[in-house]
Structure 1
Amino acid sequence: MDKIKFLINMVVAFFMYPFSKGRFDRRNIWLIGGHSGDIYNDNSKFFYEYMLKEHKEVEIYWVINKDSKVFDKVPGKKLIRGSRENYLYYYNSKAIIFSHSPSADIAPYNFAIPILNCFHKKPVKVYLNHGTISFKKRKPMNGRFKKLIDDLLKSYDISTASSEFEKDVMVNDWSMSEDSVCIVGNARYDNLPTDEKSETRDILYTPTWRDWIKFNSGKFTDTDYFKNIMDFLNDEKLNNVLEDKNINIKFYMHHLMHEFIDDIKENITGKRIIFLDKGVTLASEIRKSAANITDYSSVAIDFLYMNRPILFYQFDVEEYIKKVDSYIDLKSEMFGSLAYNSNEAVNKLIDIIENDFCVLDDQKNERSKFFRYNDNKNCERIYDCILSKINK
């Protein structure tokens, strides 16, 4: 039903467009969004809030779903994703800024509709990405759309990167234009401290999603993914240490796997496991956590930036390499603490806690690979880059 409604709204906005010139004339409109209008987080959030504070001369709108749980958390001006106004403002915008794609975050399906997709060429298109390129090779959720998505990536005017490593992937693996990839840093890193002690001794656990589980008709509780996570979180020795040291593990289920969160909750025995809501401001949890546990999430790169310990619990590494693969060699280029089963993960996490959250040398040495800048001026550089493209 949504697709039909979106199509009707974009067609109506298309016919309204010629008669709306007076309404939009000389307005400096920028649209921004992320996570398909559902979540207020990541690079888009921090760049949006920077713009609200520092550049009031820009008329900027956050694009959001009408039924989003975080609707009231979003400050400033909002547009309902897929509405007539959304498309009309898109057709009259000077810049669109997104973390996933214009179709997902800004103007649903418009890029794929002949004639109507002529508006895709009009604004400056800014791809902020939603995490540093690292442990997940890019591929479309549906292989039928690969060419369409490849063409979309090549059409972006600006794609932000944090390092030469990231730019190299975008240009040589994704076939993006070298001129479009700008090493300016991630907007969300402006919110992160470096070399400061965390607010708490709590540990953030962020396993990433698996498409072969999400789209499988089998029972989630029968999967190795579920069993390995539960073996780790319910380990008696680990929970005794957490209790003794007054430390919590905060568990954030990836938003694309959140439908299975109740299966995890219902089987937890430890009292020190706290479950974070899908709509939580993840950046705040990252900032105040003392360490990160993950498998292949780019959240680990945020902890690398902050110089805080990371435990990689990669219980399905062979399957992951086969089905997803990584831009970082998972066999030879890893850093931090590594575990491949629940016993190893428990012991290495206890080591991190007992060593007062000290960072391993091999992790410290990796920072220069991923970050050109460490000055909390990434948003400023992104803005300057957009402005220069608009002025051209």
Structure 2
Amino acid sequence: MENMSVGVKKVSIQRNSVLINVENISIQSVFLQKRKSEQLIECAFLLENKQLIVTIPNDLNRGRFDLYIQINNSEKSIRRIKYSDILKKDVPDRYFKVVENLSNDTYVYFTMDGHIAVEVINKDNNGHFNQFSGKLTVDKVFRNASGSIKLYFNTSHRFNNLSVLLMEKDNDKCQTISFKAQDTNVFIHEEFLSLKTPHLIVFKYIHNGVFQSRWLDFNKWLSDEITTIGVENMMIDFHTGKLSLDFSIDATIPLLNLELIVRNRNTREEVTSVNTEGNLTHCVINYHDFPLIEESKEEFLNETYDGNIFDFLVRPILTWLPTINYCVRLNYNELLEDEYWFKRSDQITQLVMMYKTKIGKLAARFAYLPIESYEHYRNLLSNKEVYQLHTNKTKTLLVSEYIDKAQDTGLSFFKYMVDYHSDEFDTYYVITEHSKDLPNLANYMKHVVFFRSVKHVDLVMSADYLAHSHSSIYAFPFNSIRMNKVRLEMKKIFLQHGIMGVRDLSNLYNNDPLFTNKIIVSSDREKKIAINQMGYQVEDVVLTGLSRFDRLIQHRNDDDKKLKKKILIMPSWRKGQNELTDEDFKKTIFYQTWEKMLNNKEFISLIKENNLKVNFYLHHNFQKYTHLFSSDLVKFIPEGQYSVQNLLISHGILITDFSSVGLDFSLLNRSVIYYNFDNSFNLEELEKVHFLPGPIISNQDELLMTLQKTIKRPKLKWKYRLYQKKNLYKFTDQSANERIYKVLDEKL
């Protein structure tokens, strides 16, 4: 989008609205464009008395957005709004909070060239997001005999009206310090920089008429002066969980100490440790102190797939510049172990799994094993005869979805294999012991193995095959180099859990022998995606259809008269909105649209006149908000009461936005209506390639008209059946499981 601008003389903020003085402009629309995804979000606006009032939406996801106006219907008439006078103010005075909720804050701010923009930030961990116009690189640092520190900058900026401040690392508190300036050299006496805690050094000045606020970046200089800080050795105390690290250091400037920092990648929270015994190459930190996303109940830890990821950094504390907040991430050392176990309690052992990130840095994840499973695992590793005994056996197949789920392609294929091929394969389903989905495995419990049990460890070390609906790692008790060797040797088939759309999925399911060996697809279109976008070889992409399709097609000829009276509303979720409080969720477009729909008088009349049964089922991530919706005629289905497939089979019409259930529902040859009320999904692009098996509706009036017509003719239209045959599922039989079995038996 072209960045042409309209200059304005005055902008002010009132609550969640931006008030802009405009002259002789007729405005067609106002919208925000998200910078990374380029998603467009329309804004409500009012234009009166030469003042444009723009309301900022209260349910934006985290990120940065640019504000645009459209003067007429031409794309060339799209403009940004520029308010140059604001640039004379300090950077913090260019930010205005307009929306606040439990987890996010929304600010209207002005860019460095004066354009109006919006930023949505994490309320708790936002750093100094509104304090700086950028960084200023320090190219060289010198110290003279009198204790004066000279900072040299290779920059075109001129430091007019310069002031120098020290800002605390975790808040915006500042103190002004004395200095001398000569061109691009700034001199500060070391007494002002001798604070023991890390601070940011901040320059505030005017350059080309624009007020600048920049933090000093010492990385370039320090990376030249400190060539190596690495981990040479690592040990953990099994009984206390204390981790000891030994460092190697190569530096040309004097170091006073090292501060070890462990940072949670999700929350940005940190725990630090500084050696107080004078040995700067050795540090100890306790794993019990690591900052966690949330604490799981102790009795269910072994059924938890821990989402915490920890990065390891060090801050070199310089002898004559101890206040500098310079951190470097530690590199991974290939010579070190990756499994560090300690006794968390009398029942649980905890694994600290060290691993190498994509950029070669050191990181860690947690896993938990019951004591008896851990001891069995260690016994298998130390007793070669026992291990060899487990590797000489008949064919064993493990099947998995998520660690606590049994309701998708994994479940369908598992039941098929137990029912029809038990003479060839010992088939086991991996699931947590207290999963809510265990009733779905009734009558098959002899073939169920509980996640992280002794039997699970045993089977993982000895199984030949794995059929997985999601990541293959969910079938394993934990992740480590040793477990990955076992996973690599296992013959794996990726069952998938949905039909692939047109977006690039290579970052999730790309060709990787550790992830899988064969991938299941349902159409020639999908096969091309797997080969061209995800890097699979032709022989590793198998067109069979998803295992759960067999049961759907079995119900294609169910009684239309009963089903057409049953409507299922099943929208997807919105990223970030699952973290809102009830009150904030009620302010979202998602809630307000569906609540308005459920209580629409025409919709209520339609239900009564046609004797309809309407069920409303929220996505897993939104289930906790079910109680906020109200209707005397619509039933709200709680998660777990029915499987998703049973819900689809028992209804005649589906209304969704872009949940993948729409594709499955169409295989029943029943009508799907896509209600794209907030443009969160690029459905028009999917419609162009004949991917969606139903009409796209953008407003409630059109939705009700379409629904009224569909009730009379609930069968899937022929044009959508043709789309389905070409782009969704090539087959019309009930033999997907049989085809998948043949891949397992003949091609792996």
Q: Which bracket does the TM-score occupy, shorter chain normalised?
A: 0.7 to 0.9
- Are 1:260 and 2:630 matched, yes or no? no
- Are 1:181 and 2:541 matched, yes or no? yes
The residue that corresponds to 2:681 in the other structure is: 320
Which of the numbers 108, 119, 123 marks the counterpart of 2:486? 119
Out of 273-282 and 68-77, give the one that drifted further.
Answer: 273-282
Residues 412, 547 of structure 2: 8 Å contact kept: yes
Tell me the secondary structure at the aligned position of residue 249 of structure 1: strand
Relative distance call for 1:108 and 1:352 in structure 2 (3 A) is farther
Greater relative contact order (CA < 8 Å, ≥ 6 in sequence): 1
Tell me the secondary structure at the aligned position of residue 429 of structure 2: strand
- Report deviation, 1:245: 1.9
Relative distance call for 1:261 and 1:272 in structure 2 (3 A) is closer
Relative distance call for 1:53 and 1:206 in structure 2 (3 A) is same
- Are 1:54 and 2:420 matched, yes or no? yes
> Quick one: which amino acid aligns to residue 32 of structure 1?
V
Which of the numbers 587, 590, 600 marks the counterpart of 1:235? 600
Residues 593, 677 of structure 2: 8 Å contact kept: yes
- Are 1:363 and 2:720 matched, yes or no? yes
- Are 1:45 and 2:408 matched, yes or no? no
Residues 39, 279 of structure 1: 8 Å contact kept: no
> Quick one: which amino acid aligns to residue 695 of structure 2?
S
The residue that corresponds to 2:734 in the other structure is: 376
- Are 1:304 and 2:630 matched, yes or no? no
Between the two proteins, the alignment pairs up a number of residues equal to 370
Tell me the secondary structure at the aligned position of residue 365 of structure 1: helix
> Quick one: which amino acid aligns to residue 116 of structure 1?
M
The residue that corresponds to 2:746 in the other structure is: 388
> Quick one: which amino acid aligns to residue 594 of structure 2?
I
- Report deviation, 1:109: 4.1
Deviations 1:253-277 (A, max 9, x none): 22233233333xxx31231334143
Equivalent-residue separation in structure 1 for 2:438 and 2:715 (angstroms): 39
> Quick one: which amino acid aligns to residue 69 of structure 1?
K
Q: Structure 1 unaligned runs (5+)?
A: 140-145
- Are 1:107 and 2:465 matched, yes or no? no
- Report deviation, 1:135: 7.0
* Length-normalised TM-score, structure 2: 0.46
Write the mapping of 1:184-199 to structure 2, written as runs, cut at 5 A.
184-193=544-553, 195-198=556-559
Which of the numbers 575, 578, 581 marks the counterpart of 1:214? 578
Q: Structure 2 unaligned runs (5+)?
A: 1-300, 307-349, 352-366
Equivalent-residue separation in structure 2 for 1:378 and 1:63 (angstroms): 22
User: More helix per residue: 1 or 2?
Assistant: 1
> Quick one: which amino acid aligns to residue 107 of structure 1?
F
The residue that corresponds to 1:31 in the other structure is: 398
Relative distance call for 1:99 and 1:242 in structure 2 (3 A) is same
List structure 1 segments (4+ residues) > 6 angstroms apart after TM superposition. none
Equivalent-residue separation in structure 1 for 2:613 and 2:670 (angstroms): 16
The residue that corresponds to 1:143 in the other structure is: none
Equivalent-residue separation in structure 1 for 2:512 and 2:374 (angstroms): 21
Which of the numbers 451, 466, 477 marks the counterpart of 1:81? 451
Equivalent-residue separation in structure 2 for 1:24 and 1:388 (angstroms): 21
Residues 38, 65 of structure 1: 8 Å contact kept: yes
- Are 1:244 and 2:587 matched, yes or no? no
> Quick one: which amino acid aligns to residue 60 of structure 1?
T
Tell me the secondary structure at the aligned position of residue 630 of structure 2: coil
Equivalent-residue separation in structure 1 for 2:483 and 2:427 (angstroms): 23
Deviations 1:168-203 (A, max 9, x none): 122222223332210011111110236524453312
Which of the numbers 331, 338, 342 marks the counterpart of 2:696? 338
Equivalent-residue separation in structure 2 for 1:154 and 1:68 (angstroms): 27
Deviations 1:247-296 (A, max 9, x none): 22222222233233333xxx312313341433522212212211211111
Deviations 1:33-65 (A, max 9, x none): 21x233321211211111121111221111112
User: More strand per residue: 1 or 2?
Assistant: 2
Deviations 1:286-341 (A, max 9, x none): 12211211111221122222211110011122x334xxx89x62566444222112
Out of 178-187 and 152-161, give the one that drifted further.
Answer: 152-161
* Length-normalised TM-score, structure 1: 0.84
Equivalent-residue separation in structure 2 for 1:366 and 1:150 (angstroms): 26
